[in-house]
Amino acid sequence: MNLESALFRGLGSLLSPAGHKGKLAILIYHRILSSPDPLLHDEIDAPTFERHMRLIAANFNVLRLGEACERLERSALPARAVSITFDDGYADNELFALPVLKRSKLPAAFFISTAFSAGGIMFNDIVIETVRRAPPGNHDLSKLGLGTIELDALPSRRAAVERLISALKHRRPSERQSIVDELPGALRSPTPKGAMMTPDQVAKLHREGMEIGAHTVNHPILASLSDDEARSEIVASKRILEEITDAPVVSFAYPNGKPGVDYTAQHVRLVREAGFRAAVSTLPGVAHRGSDIFQLPRFGPWDRNPRRLGLRLMASCVTAVPSGNRAATSAMKVA
């Protein structure tokens, strides 16, 4: 064991010990790119992901998410406990992440939005790829209710992507889709191709020992839907994935995942009633004894440098909120 590993293991065991004081860091990834993409600056490439996994495998105890949740509930986590998750269901997860995970002998959970699991494309990727290929100049999107955007070099395109996604994210799925269907024509840009996994790829992940979790059908912001619509999104995604994998689907990820903003206490109840055993949010932090098993926090590893990723994992263990997500649930009930 080298000095760096000794430091990570020693400090990690102190900050994230085994047993009733144990803490669970749940990593959240989305895309794993073949090479760096300046427009997708928040996504990492396959070589960087492999460096991440080497550090995690050497210095942390990686558990399947289902096992980690069960051990969290009975205060039986190992020291330095970590679970790895992916959201949305991008095809590059199977193409680039799966081989790395297999080489590193690490399990992961993949949360799939089922409407796109036939090689489709999500609204945000339509925005990104349309803006990427649009000609430079001023573009009038007022007929779509999106004002005007100026596209030139990379910074302006990044800014346009962020503004358009922000403007569309919280709209109802049908309205959002009708707008992005018209966006390529409005920007004089080619229609983007699909980026998501097929059912065969989802089934392959399951056969290779990975966990499959639900992430709704259309990736809506649940708080924007009626209770019946939200229930349908939650229940149908579970059923479809169980048909694809021929296995129970017991974990769920809230789209966008901010408690009290993107989902409410009512949606937590709907997830529980649908038969899921655990659910994850995007509330930053690590889980510990007393955390709500249906609102587990996650940790976004945007660091390109694996050493910084390890250090941020340690820092998250120090800053964990003692009351876990129950405080967030309580606040939502008041709202």
Q: For all residues of the chain together, what is the average pLDDT?
A: 89
Q: Tell me the pLDDT tens digit for each residue of 258-304.
A: 999 999 999 999 999 999 999 999 999 899 988 999 999 998 766 66
The residue that leads in pLDDT, 311 or 148, is 148
CB 85 within 8 A of CB 29: yes
pLDDT of 254 strictly over 90: yes
Tell me what pLDDT residue 316 has.
66
Q: Report the range of poorest mean pLDDT among 18-22, 80-84, 101-105.
A: 18-22
Q: What is the pTM of this model?
A: 0.89
Q: What is the mean pLDDT of residues 48-70?
A: 94
Residue 135 has pLDDT above 80, yes or no: yes
User: For the chain, which residues make up each domain, given as ranges?
Assistant: 3-119+194-334, 123-186
Mean pLDDT (whole number) for 59-71: 95
What φ, ψ does residue 198 adopt, rounded to 5°? -90, 165
**What CATH class is the domain 3-119+194-334?**
alpha beta
Give residue-wise pLDDT tens across range 16-30: 667 678 899 999 999
Residue with tokens 């300046």: 38
Amino acid at 206: H
Residue 13 confidence class, pLDDT cut points 50, 70, 90: low
> What tens digit of pLDDT does each residue of 39-49 get?
998 899 999 99
Q: How far apart are CA 228 and CA 160, in angstroms?
A: 34
Give the per-residue pLDDT at 289.
87
In the chain, pLDDT over 90 holds for what percent of residues? Answer: 76
First to last CA, the chain: 51
DSSP 37-86: -TTSTTSEEHHHHHHHHHHHHHHSEE--HHHHHHHHHTT-BPTTEEEEEE
User: Residue 331 pLDDT > 90, yes or no?
Assistant: no
Alpha-carbon gap, residue 272 to 17, rounded angstroms: 29
Distance CA 204, CA 71 (A): 27
Higher pLDDT: 206 or 285? It is 206
Distance of CA 11 to the CA centre of its chain: 27
Tell which wins on pLDDT, 136 or 119.
Answer: 136
DSSP E strand boundaries for the chain: 23-29, 32-33, 44-45, 61-62, 81-88, 109-112, 137-140, 148-151, 211-214, 251-253, 278-284, 287-288, 296-298
pLDDT category, 332, cuts 50, 70, 90?
Answer: very low
